[in-house]
Amino acid sequence: MLQQQHPEDPHRGQRGVLLIAGESPLRSLISTYLLTMDCACVIVSTPQQLAGVRGETFDWVLIDMANSGMPVEQAIVSLRELHPGLSERMVAFRSGVTSPEIPELIERYGLRQMSQESVLPPASPTLRDLVAVSRKIHLVPPSMEVPELIFDSFRPGLPAGVRNAYESGRLLVYRCKNKTIDLLITPETASGRVRLAGQVAGGRMSMRMGKDNGLLVLLIDGMTTVARATTNKFGEFQLESQILEDPRLQIRLREGRWAAIAIGKMDWAKKRLLD
């Protein structure tokens, strides 16, 4: 249930806080504390409630990564779309145990973090500091590099022999600074799915990657991570999925640095599966 808590006579200088959290004792403590700090606090815990605050103005956002009441990545992506100006003012805390993917989400979306100890009132210096400087917060999210497309086997004008070499699928090659990313997308007739086989090469990749520290590769459709893989020591990876509406790859090149690739519509794959 969406709740709005604020003094009866809110004033122009009052700070607005969006609290994304499911029902919990910590949520009640935080919202009460923010009220005593003269903050207008809006609490949401469903996608519908989040969409309902499109017209509201907030200075910053608190997200319970352990109990957001909705898929946490969906909440982050929706919020960035509804309130682009808040992308750099999202603060993550955890009211309990989280999944192993949560630290990855915090890094990918550049969220500031608070420990449970620092967020608990009344001994909450982090909350006090955020309230005090909320209009001056400027957080730099991790850089999402957008690689340059340098080869597409579907591109008009390629020699016939080159185009025919990949007639079973589509080969895309990207340049990302001193690295190249190859991606072969192949429709699988037997399963009705598509296979994505790729390789990240260059930049002394083979020297940096041991047996257990390959690069994380995510396949994302809209707001949802649908598949993940880790490259082997040669930088190779494979993913498989249904045909997606808005497929993207995100590759963790190193700590805090990601490559984001928009694959584009897969209508061509759907057509080949139907032929």
Annotation: CATH topology of 3-136: Rossmann fold (3.40.50)
Question: pTM surpassing 0.85?
Answer: no
The per-residue pLDDT for 3 is: 52
Domain extents for the chain? 3-136, 144-274
CATH number of the domain at 144-274, please? Answer: 2.60.40
First-to-last CA distance in the chain? 48
Closest CA to 172 of 158, 160, 161: 158
Q: Check residue 43 and give its pLDDT.
A: 93
pLDDT at position 133 is 46
Structure confidence at residue 140 (pLDDT) = 38
Positive or negative CA dihedral for 243, 247, 253, 259?
Answer: positive
Q: What is the pLDDT of residues 134-156, one digit of tens each?
A: 433 333 345 678 889 998 888 77
Each residue of 90-136: pLDDT tens digit? 888 887 778 888 888 888 888 887 765 555 555 455 566 555 544 33
Q: Which helix (H) or strand (E) holds 261?
A: strand 257-262
Predicted local distance difference test score (pLDDT) of residue 164? 54
The list of the chain residues with pLDDT below 70 reads: 1-14, 115-143, 157-167, 203-212
Q: Are 198 and 181 in contact (CB under 8 A)?
A: yes
Instruction: Say how many C-beta atoms besides its own lie within 10 A of residue 226's C-beta.
Output: 15
pLDDT given for residue 110 in this prediction: 81
